[in-house]
Chain A
Amino acid sequence: MKEIERGGIPVVHVCTIVPISQTVGANRIVPAVAIPHPLGDPTRTHEEEVQIRRNLVLKALKALGTEVHEQTVFTD
Chain B
Amino acid sequence: MSYRIVHYINQFFAGIGGEEKADYKPEAREGVVGPGQALNAAFKGRAEIVGTVICGDSYFAEHMAEASAEILEMIRKFSPDAVIAGPAFNAGRYGTASGAVLELVSRELKIPVVGGMYPENPGVELYRKSAYIVRTSDSARGMGPAVQGMAALALKLLDGEKIGTPEEEGYIERGLRKNIFLDKVGGERAAEMLARKLRGEPFKTEYPMPVFDRVAPNPPILDMKKAVVALVTSGGIVPKGNPDHIEASSATHYGEYSLEGVLTADADHYETAHGGYDPTYANKDPNRVLPVDVLRQLEKEGVIGKLHEKYYSTVGNGTSVANAKRFGEEIVGKLKKDGVDAVIVTST
* Chain A interfacial positions (CB closer than 8 Å to B): 1-17, 19-21, 23-28, 32, 34-40, 42, 49-50, 53-54, 56-58, 60-61, 64-70, 72
Contact = CB atoms under 8 A, between A and B. Distances in A.
Given A3-B332, A34-B58, 11 more contacts: A5-B218, A6-B328, A9-B336, A13-B347, A20-B126, A36-B19, A53-B288, A54-B294, A61-B298, A64-B229, A66-B220
Interface in B255-279: 277-279
A3 to B, nearest CB: 3
B336 A7 contact: yes
Given A36-B282, A66-B220, A57 B122 contact: no
B340 interface: yes
Nearest to B290: A39
Interface stretch (B3-11, B105-113, B130-138, B209-217): B209-217
A35 B348 contact: yes
Interface residues of B, number: 63
Contact of A20 (B96, B222, B335): B96
Interface in B215-250: 215-222, 224, 227, 229, 232, 235
Contacts of B93: 17, 35
A7 B333 contact: yes
B125 interface: yes
A55 to B, nearest CB: 9
B221 A10 contact: yes
B220 A32 contact: no
A1 B218 contact: no
A53 to B, nearest CB: 5
Contacts of A32: 346-347
Contact of A60 (B19, B277, B279, B344): B344
B188 interface: no
Nearest to A67: B220
Interface string B11-37: 000000001001000000000000000
Nearest to A8: B218
A51 B150 CA distance: 48
B109 to A, nearest CB: 22
Nearest to A62: B224
Most buried by B among A2, A9, A15: A9
Given A19-B96, A67-B219, A39 B291 contact: yes
Contacts of B303: 58, 61
B92 interface: yes
B126 A4 contact: no
B328 A2 contact: yes
A40 B285 CA distance: 9
A61 B224 contact: yes
A69 B220 CA distance: 11
Contact of B213 (A25, A27, A34, A66): A25
A18 B22 CA distance: 18
Interface in B85-133: 92-93, 96, 122, 125-126
B340 A35 contact: no
A65 to B, nearest CB: 5
A37 B282 contact: yes
Contacts of B222: 65
Given A7-B333, A57-B294, A16 B125 contact: no
B291 A56 contact: yes
A4 B334 CA distance: 10
Contact of A10 (B219, B232, B333): B219
B62 A64 contact: no
A24 B333 CA distance: 21
A39 B220 contact: no
A53 B285 CA distance: 12
A45 to B, nearest CB: 12
